């Protein structure tokens, strides 16, 4: 009898230790995680004491895949070995190097290969796309942007409006949340397009809002915009490698994204660009042209007349930088192995787990402004701090957490599925709890 009681007490103690709020439970989730094996393929920053930081900043800069260093070194060796002949004789010849990225990048964003190209930087690509897809007229000259967009997007669209002779105050329409909400309701977005659609030349929305983490309904925005005769494009800086995008099926005219956040392609690395296949062979579309966008079969004949390549490649300007592309190739290989559906599945599960832990903190000093519905968020959770008290962020930073602060009052965290663990999430929330009380 005493043995049975002892076993019962032991089982009860084990059950208590394995509650959803325990470290033991976090560790059990990691054991069951099919993507956990990829964590070892990334270099995780260490503190002065040698312990790993809790790195939750993949929405600003993704971590380095170890193989990226190997791939960049290979190109350095080939540069030294071959000089200019590396364009043809390097292990991965430089002449067609951007093509080594195309298929994998297309699968990351759900596009056809000829709809995607890696080139330039994000805002440069946004300007190139607006040359083609912002064609204002006296009746239709406005640009619809998301609520509180990333400043570079605002600067870009305002400068385009000015370039065409319009006052940005009259040409730019910004989505607005209703009441005291931090995010914009689905119906309000569609109502705005319906109300102003006949005046709108271009809808240019950030797919995931950098501040709130809200995922916008890309397919519905595209459908509504096209029904009103608007061109539709997206800045997917916070969506590519985060959301399981289906750009071809969604049907937007264009999209642009950086690759150094969730796609781990190295600091300030190149941008991706999508142009829907309906525009693939429109050689008369206005564009800023450069020689690398010229038909590659005749490019080196050095002719006077520009003939764009089919699809997104026709928007290229210059031959691409190989070293950042080598780092990107390393990361895209991992995405190919892991697959975006599996990455998205873990992202949502990890987000739900983080939300449950945060909700379990009994405090009014913080609140979550990111939508909770799976269809309205990605990896990022935005934690709003009461009274914009940045001291909380400073304290968790000192404790070993790498997150980021966005003015005026938000701590942004992002559990990146390829290298973050459930134990990371638990430890972060415990640090936060300790600093709150």
Residues belonging to the chain? 437
pLDDT at res. 20: 83
Residues 37 and 98 in one domain: no
Q: How confident is the model at residue 221 (pLDDT cuts 50, 70, 90)?
A: very high
- Write the DSSP string, 248-260: HHH--SEEEEESS
In a domain, 15, yes or no: no
Residue 185 belongs to a domain with what CATH number?
A: 3.40.640.10
Q: Give the DSSP H or E segment for 119.
A: strand 116-119
pLDDT at res. 437: 82
Residues 54 and 117 in one domain: no
Residues 318 and 365 in one domain: no
Query: How does 328-358 read in b/e, with b if 16+ C-beta sit within 10 Å?
Result: bbbbbbbbeebebeebbebbbbbbebbbebb
Q: Which of 337, 368, 388 is the last residue of a domain?
A: 337
- pTM: predicted TM-score of the whole model, two decimal places: 0.93
In a domain, 406, yes or no: yes
Residues 115 and 250 in one domain: yes
pLDDT tens, position by position, 86-131: 999 999 999 999 999 999 999 999 999 999 999 999 999 999 999 9
Residues 343 and 230 in one domain: no
In a domain, 1, yes or no: no
pLDDT at res. 52: 97
pLDDT tens, position by position, 127-157: 999 999 999 999 999 999 999 999 999 999 9
Residue 409 belongs to a domain with what CATH number?
A: 3.90.1150.10
In a domain, 429, yes or no: yes
Q: Which of 337, 357, 376 is the last residue of a domain?
A: 337
User: How many CB atoms are closer than 10 A to CB 434?
Assistant: 11
pLDDT tens, position by position, 323-334: 999 999 999 999
**Domains identified in the chain, total number:** 2
Residues 231 and 136 in one domain: yes
pLDDT at res. 18: 57
Task: Report CA-CA distances (Å) from 146 to 95, 193, 255.
Answer: 38, 12, 14
Q: Which of 306, 337, 368 is the last residue of a domain?
A: 337
In a domain, 321, yes or no: yes
Average pLDDT over residues 369-389: 96
Could you tell me which of 371, 280, 312 has the C-alpha nearest to residue 125?
312
Q: Which domain holds residue 237?
A: 71-337
Q: How confident is the model at residue 13 (pLDDT cuts 50, 70, 90)?
A: very low
* Contacts (Cβ under 8 Å, ≥6 apart) of 4: none
């Amino acid at each position: 009898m005493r043995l049975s009681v002892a076993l019962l007490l032991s089982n009860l103690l084990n059950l208590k230790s394995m509650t959803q709020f325990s470290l033991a439970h976090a560790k059990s989730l990691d054991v069951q995680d099919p993507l956990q094996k990829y964590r070892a393929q990334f270099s995780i920053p260490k503190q002065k004491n040698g312990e790993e930081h809790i790195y939750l900043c993949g929405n600003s800069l993704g971590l380095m895949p170890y193989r990226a260093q190997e791939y960049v070194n290979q190109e350095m060796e080939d540069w030294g070995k071959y000089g200019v002949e590396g364009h043809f004789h390097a292990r991965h010849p430089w002449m067609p190097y951007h093509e080594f990225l195309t298929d994998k990048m297309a699968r990351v964003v759900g596009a056809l290969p000829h709809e995607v190209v890696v080139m330039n930087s994000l805002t440069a690509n946004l300007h190139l796309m607006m040359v083609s897809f912002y064609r204002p007229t006296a009746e239709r000259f406005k640009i619809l942007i998301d609520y509180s967009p990333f400043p570079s997007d605002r600067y870009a669209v305002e400068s385009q409006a000015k370039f065409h002779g319009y006052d940005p105050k009259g040409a730019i329409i910004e989505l607005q949340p209703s009441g005291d909400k931090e995010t914009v309701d689905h119906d309000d977005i569609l109502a705005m397009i319906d109300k102003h659609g006949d005046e709108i030349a271009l809808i240019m929305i950030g797919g995931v809002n950098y501040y709130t983490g809200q995922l916008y309904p890309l397919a519905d925005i595209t459908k509504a915009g096209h029904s009103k005769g608007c061109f539709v494009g997206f800045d997917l800086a916070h969506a590519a490698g985060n959301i399981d995008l289906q750009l071809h099926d969604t049907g937007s005219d264009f999209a642009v994204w950086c690759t150094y956040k969730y796609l781990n392609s190295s600091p300030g690395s190149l941008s991706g660009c999508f142009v829907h296949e309906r525009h693939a062979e429109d050689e008369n579309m206005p564009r800023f042209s450069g020689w690398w966008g010229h038909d590659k079969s005749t490019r080196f004949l050095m002719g006077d007349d520009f003939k764009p390549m089919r699809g997104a490649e026709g928007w290229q300007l210059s031959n691409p930088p190989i070293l950042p592309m080598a780092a990107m190739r390393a990361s895209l290989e991992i995405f190919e192995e892991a697959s975006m559906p599996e990455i998205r599945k873990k992202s949502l599960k990890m987000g739900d787990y983080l939300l449950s832990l945060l909700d379990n903190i009994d405090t009014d000093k913080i609140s979550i402004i990111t939508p909770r519905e799976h269809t309205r968020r990605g990896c990022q959770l935005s934690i709003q701090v009461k009274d914009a008290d940045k001291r909380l962020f400073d304290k968790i930073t000192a404790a070993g957490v790498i997150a980021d602060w966005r003015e005026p009052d938000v701590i942004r965290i992002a559990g990146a599925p390829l290298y973050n663990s459930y134990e990371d999430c638990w430890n972060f929330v415990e640090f936060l709890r300790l600093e709150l009380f």
